[in-house]
């Protein structure tokens, strides 16, 4: 049997070998080469993507404005919330967490190195969406359903948020993330499926009882607009997509977001296991794409 001293010696030797390989490895060069190769995979413009997103913005604006002008700010909430209560309750938390900003950032780690232009487009769109969404929330500070309605009048799932209702941040996040994917998608069927998913995420905010339908329509509209603007900006300013420092800074941010999913379920305990699994998978993907290949290359080269 191996003694403790021998085992410790082997562990020390393995650790020393790892340190040597890390020192030998030129991570920056390896990342730069893969970013340059990945940029070729993503075209700057996708036929039909702009038109689809602008149509989404137009329809969303019409729906939101019609609800507000004809029926008022609270229009349709009780009916939609009651209809959603007929669906198995576990579905809505899983849909609603797809609008969590941390989920969106974590998902980017699965393709950020392979498709850096797509990643850069998402970053630009996210910055625009955050500025618009947070600005409107501060400007209006509208009361949410739990702050207006008696608890026995509607179905509430998860935390009982009170303020900053307009626009729906989860709807906005889903529209930004899925909207950028729509902008790059080639097949109309994928665009339709991604649009449907964004709408379902928006409806989930009514189903869990924390947003009015007008909030959702506004969030989906603003998110799609931010995705369109992000796509146009990325096409005209593609350089940072392959800049190692810029790219890795946002990868680090996305990794921290993914790490947060492991420890915080955002108040939706039903989806906690799925969020932890996603966080671990995203971090594992980042390690697998950014750390292991350069180390392997350094080992082979040594």
The Cβ of residue 21 has, within 10 Å, a number of other Cβ atoms equal to 17
CA 222 to chain centre: 15
Mean pLDDT confidence for 23-46: 83
pLDDT over 90 at 225, yes or no: yes
Q: Are 220 and 169 in contact (CB under 8 A)?
A: no
Give residue for tokens 């997509």.
Answer: 241
Query: For the chain, what percent of residues have pLDDT higher than 90?
Result: 81
**What's the confidence (pLDDT) of residue 186?**
85
Q: pTM of this prediction?
A: 0.91
What is the DSSP annotation of 30-76? HHHHHHHHHHTTS-S--TTHHHHHHHHHHHHHHHHHHIIIII-TTTT
pLDDT in tens, 133-160: 999 999 999 999 999 999 999 999 999 9
- Report yes or no: 183 and 228 within 8 Å, Cβ to Cβ: yes
The token duo for 97 is 């967490």
Domain 46-301 matching CATH 1.10.3470: the answer reads no
The vertex-126 CA angle with 120 and 131, nearest 5°, equals 135
Which DSSP helix (H) or strand (E) runs through 255?
helix 244-263
Q: Is the pLDDT of residue 277 over 70?
A: yes
pLDDT, average across residues 172-192:
94
- The Cα–Cα gap between 122 and 191 comes to 16
Asked if 119 and 234 count as a contact pair (C-beta separation under 8 A), the reply is: no
Structural domain boundaries in the chain? 46-301
Assess contact for 205 and 45: CB atoms under 8 A.
no
In sequence order, what are the residues at sequence separation of 6 or more whose Cβ sits closer than 8 angstroms to the Cβ of residue 162? 143, 144, 146, 147
Structural tokens at position 170 = 């989860």
User: Each residue of 69-96: pLDDT tens digit?
Assistant: 999 999 999 999 999 999 998 999 999 9
């Amino acid at each position: 049997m191996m003694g403790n001293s021998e085992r410790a010696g082997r562990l020390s030797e393995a650790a020393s070998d790892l340190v040597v390989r890390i020192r030998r490895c030129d991570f920056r060069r390896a990342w730069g080469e893969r970013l340059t190769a990945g940029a070729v995979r993503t075209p700057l413009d996708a036929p039909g993507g702009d038109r689809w997103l602008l149509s989404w913005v137009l329809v969303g604006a019409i729906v939101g404005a019609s609800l507000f002008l004809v029926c008022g700010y609270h229009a349709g909430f009780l009916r939609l919330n009651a209809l959603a209560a007929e669906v198995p309750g576990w579905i809505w938390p899983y849909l609603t967490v797809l609008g969590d900003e941390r989920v969106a950032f974590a998902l980017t780690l699965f393709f950020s190195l392979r498709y850096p232009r797509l990643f850069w487009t998402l970053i630009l769109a996210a910055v625009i969406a955050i500025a618009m969404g947070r600005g409107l929330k501060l400007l209006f500070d509208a009361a949410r359903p739990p702050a207006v309605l008696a608890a026995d009048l509607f179905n509430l799932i998860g935390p009982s948020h009170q303020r900053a209702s307009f626009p729906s941040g989860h709807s906005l996040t889903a529209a930004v993330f899925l909207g950028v994917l729509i902008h790059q998608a080639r097949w109309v069927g994928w665009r339709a499926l991604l649009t449907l998913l964004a709408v379902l995420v928006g409806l989930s905010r009514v189903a869990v009882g924390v947003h009015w339908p007008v909030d959702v329509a506004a969030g989906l509209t603003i998110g799609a607009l931010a995705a369109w603007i992000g796509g146009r900006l990325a096409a005209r300013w593609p350089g940072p997509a392959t800049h190692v420092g810029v790219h890795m800074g946002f990868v680090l941010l996305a990794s921290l977001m993914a790490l947060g999913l492991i420890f915080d379920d955002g108040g939706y305990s039903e989806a906690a296991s799925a969020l932890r699994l996603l966080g671990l998978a995203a971090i594992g993907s980042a390690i697998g794409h950014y750390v292991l290949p350069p180390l392997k290359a350094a080992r082979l080269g040594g």
